[in-house]
Amino acid sequence: MKKPKFVNNEIYHIYNRGVEKRNIFLDDDDYFRFIHDIFEFNDENPAENIYYKLSRIKSYEVQPRKIKKGEREARKLLVEILTFCLMPNHFHLLLRQRKDKGIIKFMHKLGTGYTMSFNQRRERVGPLFQGRFKAVLIQQDSHLIHIPYYIHLNPLDLKYPEWKNTEIKNFRGALKFLETYRWSSYQDYIGKKNFPSVTQRDFLSKFFGGPGQYKKDTINWIREFSFEEIKDFILE
């Protein structure tokens, strides 16, 4: 798939997976590391080595390590991270570009930094991801109204794979599973603090009517899921 031209203030669905479909997250430390990197590398300024060399991140709240006043400039975001979801062998991001070439710069830093950390921990060498990331422009509200739900519902593949065929029976169980799945921005969108500093949620929260409405509409979206409506911009 040919990448679209990345334009400031436009929204893009970004996707990549492990080389040969291998798992890229093997334990909780890997998930925490990637989420930390999503936050830390979203900055025009270079990341300090101390950030990506941390061996273990324990806090759900991701924020810069304490630095003395004057040692670091204020963050200058390359992109707005609207939503994210991490799965064992792939990830999804919904990004709005803020700076020229912001997505390219952010994804290069993220891919390089995480691969270095993963390889160092596992004493391996070589690429971790299956080529360059894939991206599609979200051009219409009729697309935007679907894609955040699709990204956030990806974890259902792990326990309720039948959801994509609209054959799911246990809607209450599916919703509970999503509410306890740690590695996405879904909890923050329904008002449960998870990784609130990672995403910029004001735009989509207003678009969807706030946390309560987003949670309510999640069930409706599961019930009415149609692959045909989103096949051109889900990237899988």
**For residues 77 and 181, what is the distance between their CA atoms, to the nearest angstrom?**
27
The CATH classification number of 11-138 equals 3.30.70.1290
**For residues 185 and 200, what is the distance between their CA atoms, to the nearest angstrom?**
10
115 closest CA partner among 126, 101, 100: 126
Measured over the CA atoms of residue 200, residue 204, residue 205 and residue 211, the dihedral's sign is: negative
Q: Which residues contact 7 (CB under 8 A, 6 or more apart)?
A: 97
Q: How many CB atoms lie within 10 A of CB 1?
A: 8
**For residues 215 and 133, what is the distance between their CA atoms, to the nearest angstrom?**
29
Residue 53 has pLDDT above 70, yes or no: no
User: What pLDDT, on a 0 to 100 scale, did the predictor assign at position 159?
Assistant: 94
User: What pLDDT, on a 0 to 100 scale, did the predictor assign at position 67?
Assistant: 35
pLDDT tens, residue by residue, 185-211: 999 999 999 999 999 999 999 999 999
**For residues 119 and 168, what is the distance between their CA atoms, to the nearest angstrom?**
38
Give helix 211-223 / helix 171-180 axis angle, nearest 10°: 130
**For residues 174 and 160, what is the distance between their CA atoms, to the nearest angstrom?**
7
What size, in residues, is the chain?
236
Paired with 80 in beta bridges are 96
What proportion of the chain, given as a percentage, has pLDDT over 70? Answer: 86
Q: What is the pTM of this model?
A: 0.88
Q: How confident is the model at residue 63 (pLDDT cuts 50, 70, 90)?
A: low
Q: What single DSSP character describes residue 129?
A: B
Cα atoms in the 13 Å half-sphere on the side-chain side of 8: 6
Paired with 86 in beta bridges are 91
**For residues 200 and 196, what is the distance between their CA atoms, to the nearest angstrom?**
8
Locate the domains of the chain by residue range.
11-138, 141-230
pLDDT tens, residue by residue, 153-191: 999 999 999 888 888 888 889 999 999 999 999 999 999
